[in-house]
Amino acid sequence: MKICCVFLLFITVSCSFGQKDKGNSKAKSDSLVPYGKKMLPENVCYIIKEGGTEQPFTGKYVDHHEAGTYICIGCDKPLFESETKYDSGSGWPSFYNAIDSKNVLKKRDDSFGMVRFEILCANCNAHLGHVFDDGPQPTGMRYCVNSAALNFIPNP
Protein backbone atom coordinates (compact mmCIF):
# COMPACT_ATOMS: atom_id res chain seq x y z
CA MET A 1 0.00 0.00 0.00
CA LYS A 2 2.83 2.42 0.86
CA ILE A 3 4.53 1.77 -2.48
CA CYS A 4 1.27 2.45 -4.34
CA CYS A 5 0.76 5.76 -2.50
CA VAL A 6 4.36 6.84 -3.09
CA PHE A 7 4.04 5.92 -6.79
CA LEU A 8 0.80 7.91 -7.13
CA LEU A 9 2.44 10.91 -5.47
CA PHE A 10 5.44 10.60 -7.81
CA ILE A 11 3.19 10.46 -10.89
CA THR A 12 1.21 13.50 -9.73
CA VAL A 13 4.35 15.48 -9.04
CA SER A 14 5.99 14.45 -12.31
CA CYS A 15 2.96 15.65 -14.30
CA SER A 16 2.48 18.91 -12.45
CA PHE A 17 5.83 19.86 -10.95
CA GLY A 18 6.63 23.43 -11.83
CA GLN A 19 3.31 24.03 -13.55
CA LYS A 20 1.07 26.87 -12.48
CA ASP A 21 -2.45 26.02 -11.35
CA LYS A 22 -4.16 29.14 -12.68
CA GLY A 23 -5.68 26.98 -15.44
CA ASN A 24 -8.35 25.67 -13.09
CA SER A 25 -9.54 29.09 -11.93
CA LYS A 26 -13.34 29.36 -11.99
CA ALA A 27 -13.26 33.15 -11.72
CA LYS A 28 -11.46 33.58 -15.03
CA SER A 29 -13.19 30.80 -16.96
CA ASP A 30 -16.04 33.10 -18.09
CA SER A 31 -13.74 35.64 -19.78
CA LEU A 32 -13.18 34.83 -23.45
CA VAL A 33 -9.91 35.68 -25.17
CA PRO A 34 -8.81 35.18 -28.78
CA TYR A 35 -6.82 32.11 -29.74
CA GLY A 36 -6.28 31.90 -33.48
CA LYS A 37 -9.73 32.18 -35.05
CA LYS A 38 -11.49 31.07 -31.84
CA MET A 39 -12.56 32.73 -28.65
CA LEU A 40 -11.67 30.49 -25.69
CA PRO A 41 -12.02 30.85 -21.92
CA GLU A 42 -9.09 32.64 -20.30
CA ASN A 43 -8.23 29.64 -18.12
CA VAL A 44 -8.02 27.40 -21.22
CA CYS A 45 -5.80 29.92 -23.02
CA TYR A 46 -3.55 30.08 -19.97
CA ILE A 47 -2.98 26.33 -20.26
CA ILE A 48 -2.51 26.11 -24.02
CA LYS A 49 -0.60 29.39 -24.51
CA GLU A 50 1.47 29.64 -21.33
CA GLY A 51 1.99 26.00 -20.38
CA GLY A 52 -0.24 26.03 -17.31
CA THR A 53 -1.93 22.94 -15.95
CA GLU A 54 -5.21 22.02 -14.36
CA GLN A 55 -5.33 20.47 -10.91
CA PRO A 56 -5.19 16.64 -10.92
CA PHE A 57 -8.51 14.78 -10.98
CA THR A 58 -10.48 17.92 -11.95
CA GLY A 59 -10.50 17.77 -15.75
CA LYS A 60 -13.62 16.76 -17.65
CA TYR A 61 -11.86 13.89 -19.47
CA VAL A 62 -10.10 12.21 -16.53
CA ASP A 63 -12.91 9.72 -16.00
CA HIS A 64 -14.33 9.84 -19.54
CA HIS A 65 -14.89 6.50 -21.28
CA GLU A 66 -16.93 7.27 -24.41
CA ALA A 67 -15.62 6.02 -27.78
CA GLY A 68 -14.36 8.74 -30.09
CA THR A 69 -11.57 11.16 -30.92
CA TYR A 70 -9.89 13.76 -28.71
CA ILE A 71 -9.00 16.88 -30.69
CA CYS A 72 -7.02 20.04 -29.97
CA ILE A 73 -9.24 22.72 -28.45
CA GLY A 74 -7.27 25.41 -30.28
CA CYS A 75 -7.48 24.15 -33.86
CA ASP A 76 -9.54 20.91 -33.91
CA LYS A 77 -6.59 18.77 -35.04
CA PRO A 78 -7.21 15.07 -34.16
CA LEU A 79 -4.73 14.05 -31.46
CA PHE A 80 -5.79 10.88 -29.60
CA GLU A 81 -8.29 8.03 -30.03
CA SER A 82 -10.30 6.75 -27.09
CA GLU A 83 -8.91 3.24 -27.71
CA THR A 84 -5.49 4.47 -26.55
CA LYS A 85 -6.78 6.17 -23.38
CA TYR A 86 -6.10 4.47 -20.05
CA ASP A 87 -6.24 5.23 -16.34
CA SER A 88 -2.69 6.04 -15.31
CA GLY A 89 -3.73 7.15 -11.83
CA SER A 90 -2.02 10.50 -12.43
CA GLY A 91 -5.19 12.62 -12.35
CA TRP A 92 -4.97 13.68 -15.99
CA PRO A 93 -6.25 11.95 -19.12
CA SER A 94 -3.52 9.60 -20.31
CA PHE A 95 -2.97 7.99 -23.69
CA TYR A 96 -0.34 5.47 -24.78
CA ASN A 97 -0.24 6.71 -28.39
CA ALA A 98 -1.12 9.70 -30.55
CA ILE A 99 -3.25 9.29 -33.67
CA ASP A 100 -0.28 10.44 -35.76
CA SER A 101 3.12 11.31 -34.33
CA LYS A 102 3.21 14.26 -36.75
CA ASN A 103 0.23 15.82 -34.94
CA VAL A 104 2.01 16.06 -31.58
CA LEU A 105 5.35 17.81 -31.17
CA LYS A 106 7.72 16.86 -28.36
CA LYS A 107 9.90 19.58 -26.86
CA ARG A 108 12.56 18.92 -24.24
CA ASP A 109 11.67 20.59 -20.94
CA ASP A 110 14.58 20.96 -18.49
CA SER A 111 12.73 23.23 -16.10
CA PHE A 112 12.75 22.76 -12.34
CA GLY A 113 15.73 20.39 -12.28
CA MET A 114 14.03 17.56 -14.16
CA VAL A 115 14.11 16.35 -17.75
CA ARG A 116 10.79 15.68 -19.38
CA PHE A 117 9.14 16.33 -22.73
CA GLU A 118 6.39 18.86 -23.22
CA ILE A 119 3.81 17.94 -25.87
CA LEU A 120 2.33 20.54 -28.19
CA CYS A 121 -0.21 20.49 -30.99
CA ALA A 122 1.85 20.47 -34.20
CA ASN A 123 -0.75 22.59 -35.97
CA CYS A 124 -1.33 25.51 -33.54
CA ASN A 125 1.46 25.02 -30.96
CA ALA A 126 -1.01 24.62 -28.06
CA HIS A 127 0.53 23.21 -24.89
CA LEU A 128 -1.12 19.83 -24.23
CA GLY A 129 0.86 18.42 -21.31
CA HIS A 130 3.90 16.13 -21.10
CA VAL A 131 4.88 12.68 -22.32
CA PHE A 132 6.72 10.09 -20.23
CA ASP A 133 8.17 6.65 -21.00
CA ASP A 134 6.37 4.87 -18.15
CA GLY A 135 3.15 3.94 -19.97
CA PRO A 136 1.68 0.57 -20.92
CA GLN A 137 2.51 -1.55 -23.92
CA PRO A 138 2.49 -1.57 -26.88
CA THR A 139 4.27 1.83 -26.86
CA GLY A 140 5.41 2.24 -23.24
CA MET A 141 4.46 5.93 -23.48
CA ARG A 142 2.19 8.02 -21.26
CA TYR A 143 0.86 11.17 -22.88
CA CYS A 144 -0.34 13.08 -19.81
CA VAL A 145 -2.76 15.70 -21.17
CA ASN A 146 -4.76 18.57 -19.71
CA SER A 147 -8.49 18.07 -20.31
CA ALA A 148 -8.72 21.82 -20.94
CA ALA A 149 -6.51 21.40 -24.04
CA LEU A 150 -8.95 18.91 -25.58
CA ASN A 151 -12.37 18.64 -27.11
CA PHE A 152 -14.07 15.32 -27.81
CA ILE A 153 -15.91 14.03 -30.86
CA PRO A 154 -17.93 10.88 -30.13
CA ASN A 155 -18.01 8.07 -32.68
CA PRO A 156 -21.24 8.01 -34.72
Annotated active-site positions, please? Answer: 144
> In the beta sheet, which residues pair with residue 72?
150
Q: Which long-range contacts (CB under 8 A, 24 or more apart) does 125-130 make?
A: 126/35, 126/48, 126/49, 126/72, 126/73, 126/74, 126/75, 127/47, 127/48, 127/49, 127/50, 127/51, 127/52, 128/48, 128/72, 128/79, 128/104, 129/15, 129/53, 129/92, 130/14, 130/15
How many degrees, rounded to 5, is the angle at CA 98 between CA 92 and CA 103?
110
Question: How far is C-alpha 120 from the chain's CA centre?
Answer: 9
